[in-house]
A and B are shown apart, each in its own frame.
Chain A
Amino acid sequence: MTEARRTTRYIWVAVLLCIALAGLVVRLVFLHVAIQDAGRTRTVKTRTYRETLTVPRGRILDGSPSANILAANIGVKDVWVDPAPLLASNRLSSVAGQLARVLHLDEAELSTRLNTTNRHFAYVQRFVPQEKAAELARMKLPSVYFSDSMTRHYPQGQNLCHVLGFVNHDGVGSSGIEQGMESYLKGIPGLRESRLDGRRREMYDRRIREIAPREGADVVLTIDQNLQYMLEKALDATVERHHAKAAMAIIQHVKTGEILAMASRPGFDPNQFRAAGDLQKLNRAIGYVYEPGSTFKVAVIAAALDQGIVKPENVFDCENGRWLYQNKILRDYHAYGRLDVADILKKSSNIGAAKIAILMGDRQLESSLRSFMIGRRLGIDLPGEEGGILRPVAQWTAISSSRVAIGQGVAVTALQMLGVICGIANDGQIMRPYVVKEVVSANGTVLMRQVPQVLSRPIRPETAVLMRKLLARVTEEGGTGAKACVEGFTVAGKTGTAQKVVAGRYSESDYMASFAGFLPAEAPEIGMIIVVDEPQPLHTGGLVAAPVFSEIAEQAVRYLGLMPASPEQTAMYYAGRANRP
């Protein structure tokens, strides 16, 4: 081959290679620049991978030093099948049988549910625990798939159910703390955008965007799970013992307003919230209003004493238990002749309390009760709080004040009634009740911390001290609340036995029995209310609710490490004994 020929060949090869490369370059340019927008978008979309980074909901912890978990999100699996290939291969019934056996489902029902040829997706069961999902995975059933999911778990079961509430299947808090603190608990999901390789796997080095999720914050409650358990156990026993329809109880720290325990019966298991009815889900302690009966005399007599309308030693004629006023008869549970104000409270005389209220006058009475936060919500950080009912004075009749004085014609929640009692225990200051102590983010930053807040000052501190002494007499021998006493402590409180309104009339058989009190009376630390709905056959607050108060308070003082009042406190407390009636 001549030199010229060889050179020509080299040139041809080079030209051909250049043409081929130029073709590739043109194609490349065409693909990157000249391609239609729609085509480009489709290409990018096909290769782009976008994932929402879900974050677990924040936990709910109790207020004890060990911060026990009351609610948390746990990873579970959703089990689903593609029914079409199972039907085509005639294996549906055998697969359904094996699934039903492991997941404890009805085989016939599952087979029927999956027997659809036109679908390629059908849930077998959602929120399956990891262990069961792993067992199914080991069985290698055809056309059975698993997807990751989260569910809310309440390790304590029914304990604290009304306070915690529950989260629905979409992960949204639907009652209790879960609903009230939704904005803190839910967190903010993140976003990850990336490219996929030919096998549709995410290419880590081609990540386009990653917005980190913000985990839900932990909510720390003021409630202690052990104290709560004591309360719930006692309440369960009471409902059973007295064949009651329902019951509710709250323990509150009198100086701060923090709720230490709150329970309602009937209850429900938040893990199985769908199985519970509306009445079971109702947090009666804050969402159920009732006529308080004699416990309400506390507010009326405190107001009358505060305004100087009566003094503890003033004597009233209690008409031997039957008094005709404005053509309506008012009766006492036990007949009394003449009682002073202190004994009206101790013996719970309706007639005596009514006469005091009449002395006050309608307007003054209404205004005093409103300053005790009657008819207004206390603003607890739980959804579903009721404000009670106190009609404006313009709507009162001639006998209204005499009936309001004994807790009729007025409706309160257990929380409001406890607020009145704790207000007296707290030197006349009603504190806003709260169950959330603080909210802590996942990195430990405190996002919110509750501070005690005074809602109202219905009475002067001197009147509160006087009322504490008068209320302590209720649990002494001869008082209606003698069964509420706690060994070693002075208990102050008031019983209540209210007839329920049935079909527009006061029932002779259905009652609300209650006891609201605090201890130690000399230097109050905790306040508590017990309300039992329709106890049978015993129905008085002194026989039904007061013993429960005693039982719980006895355990609570030991658990909380409360000490009986010191000699100095006792001496100070009794300094005014000479003035006592």
Chain B
Amino acid sequence: MAKRNRKKNQAGFVFPAPLAVVLVVLAGFSLVYVCLKAKTEALGQEIKALESRSVQLRQDVVREQCEWASRLSPASMEQALKAHGLVMTWPGREQIVRMRADGTIDSSVIPEVRPPARYARVDRVVMND
């Protein structure tokens, strides 16, 4: 039996070129779609993470503000001063110069001249004596 000449079989089944083009284009679109989808999902996850972070940060800000408000409260300030041995007092009668709204001094309450106040007493510590 004579061997078949393969070169003579060129006219066999040929994949239709337009169909191939359509399939390639479709495949291309699919690939782009999958890529975009993956990217969108990644962005979505990122946005969600940022949303949670934003909520968390807002809560942190409020917590810090509360903490700050607590520290600034008059009671806390007073405690802090006490802890440092500081005592806040209102000025004494003789230390006040009262000025009237029109800028004149209320002459009925002229402060007395007094020796300078001693704000601290330093005890001499005798060491190795």
Q: Residues 44-72 of chain A: 1 if any B CB is under 8 Å from the residue's CB, otherwise 0? A: 00000000000010010000000011101
> Most chain-A Cβ atoms within 10 A of its Cβ — which of B40, B47, B66, B96?
B66
**Interface SS of chain B: helix, strand, loop or mixed?**
helix
Residue of B nearest to A74 (CB): B63
Given contacts A7-B13, A564-B106, A566-B100, contact A74 B59 (CB under 8 A): yes
Do residues A488 and B109 form an inter-chain contact, with CB atoms below 8 A? Answer: yes
A202 near B66 with CB under 8 A, answer: no
Answer yes or no: B35 CB below 8 A from chain A CBs.
Answer: no
Note all chain B residues with C-beta closer than 8 A to A203: 41, 44
B69 at the interface (CB under 8 A from A): yes
Closest A residue by C-beta to B59: A75
Name the residue of chain A whose CB is nearest to the CB of B45. Answer: A204
CB distance from A567 to the nearest CB of B (A): 7
**Interface membership of chain A positions 427-458, coded 1 if the CB is closer than 8 angstroms to chain B and 0 otherwise:** 00000000000000000000000000000000
A156 touches B106 (CB 8 A): no
Q: Total interface residues on B, using CB and 8 Å?
A: 36
Chain A, Cβ-Cβ closest to B37: A205
Known: A6-B12, A7-B13, A558-B90. A72 touches B70 (CB 8 A): no
Among the listed B45, B66, B75, B93, which residue makes an inter-chain contact with A487, where contact means beta carbons less than 8 Å apart? B93
Q: Is B23 an interface residue (CB 8 A)?
A: no
Determine which of B9, B43, B73 lies in contact with A155 in the assembled complex, contact meaning CB atoms within 8 Å: B73
A15 to B106 alpha-carbon distance, docked (Å): 112
The CA of A554 and the CA of B100, in the complex, are separated in Å by 16
| Total A residues in contact with B, Cβ cutoff 8 Å | 38
Does A555 have its Cβ within 8 Å of any Cβ on chain B? yes
Q: Is A125 located at the chain interface by the 8 A CB criterion? A: no
B128 at the interface (CB under 8 A from A): no
Q: How far is the CA of A203 from the CA of B43 in the complex (A)?
A: 10
Q: Which of B47-99 contact A (CB under 8 A)?
A: 47-48, 56, 58-60, 62-63, 65-67, 69-70, 72-75, 90, 93, 96, 98-99
Q: Does B113 contact A (CB under 8 A)?
A: no
With an 8 A cutoff between CB atoms, is A157 at the interface? yes
Which residue of A is nearest B74, CB measured? A229
Residues of chain B within 8 A of A157, CB atoms compared: 73, 75
Q: Which residues of B contact A68 (CB under 8 A)?
A: 69, 72-73
A130 at the interface (CB under 8 A from B): yes
Once the chains are docked, how many angstroms separate the CA of A68 from the CA of B73? 8
Docked complex Cα distance between A495 and B109 (Å): 27
Q: Check if B70 sits within 8 Å of A155, measured CB to CB.
A: yes
In angstroms, how far is the closest chain A Cβ from the Cβ of B93? 7
List of A residues within 8 angstroms of B123 by Cβ: none
Contact A74 B62 (CB under 8 A): yes
Cα distance, A110 to B43, chains bound together (Å): 44
Query: Is A205's CB under 8 angstroms from B66's CB?
Result: no
By the criterion CB–CB under 8 Å, are A72 and B48 in contact? no
Interface presence of B101 (CB below 8 A): yes
Given the known interface contacts A159-B73, A205-B44, A555-B90, the answer about A72 and B13 at a Cβ–Cβ threshold of 8 Å is no
CA distance A130 to B41 in the complex (A): 31
Q: Which one of B12, B58, B60, B74 has the highest number of Cβ atoms from chain A below 10 Å of its Cβ?
A: B74
- Proximity bits, A542-579, B CB within 8 Å = 1, else 0: 00000000000011001000011011100000000000
Contacts of A75 in B (CB 8 A): 56, 59-60, 62-63
Q: Is B104 interfacial (CB 8 A cutoff)?
A: yes
Using Cβ atoms and an 8 Å threshold, which residues of chain A touch B13?
3, 6-7, 10
* Whole-angstrom CA separation of A229 from B76 in the bound complex: 11
Q: Which of A153, A159, A554 contacts B66 (CB 8 A)?
A: A153
Any B CB within 8 A of the CB of A413: no
A155 to B70 alpha-carbon distance, docked (Å) = 5
B69 touches A156 (CB 8 A): yes
Instruction: Report the minimum CB–CB distance from B56 to chain A (whole Å).
Output: 8
A179 within 8 A of B: no
Q: How far is the CA of A73 from the CA of B65 in the complex (A)?
A: 11
> How far in angstroms is the closest Cβ of chain B from A42?
25
A507, CB-defined interface residue at 8 Å: no
CB distance from B53 to the nearest CB of A (A): 13
Q: Which residues of A contact B59 (CB under 8 A)?
A: 56, 74-75
Instruction: Give per-residue flags for A128-170: 1 if the beta carbon is below 8 A from chain B beta carbons, else 0.
Output: 0010000000000000000000000101110100000000000
Q: List 10 A-B contacts (CB under 8 A).
A: A59-B62, A74-B63, A75-B62, A155-B70, A204-B44, A225-B73, A488-B109, A563-B100, A564-B100, A567-B100
Q: A68-B73, A74-B63, A487-B93 are in contact. List 15 more A-B contacts (CB 8 A).
A: A68-B69, A70-B69, A72-B62, A74-B62, A75-B59, A155-B66, A155-B70, A156-B69, A156-B75, A159-B75, A201-B45, A204-B45, A226-B74, A230-B74, A567-B102
Residues of B within 8 A of A (CB): 9, 12-13, 40-41, 43-45, 47-48, 56, 58-60, 62-63, 65-67, 69-70, 72-75, 90, 93, 96, 98-102, 104, 106, 109
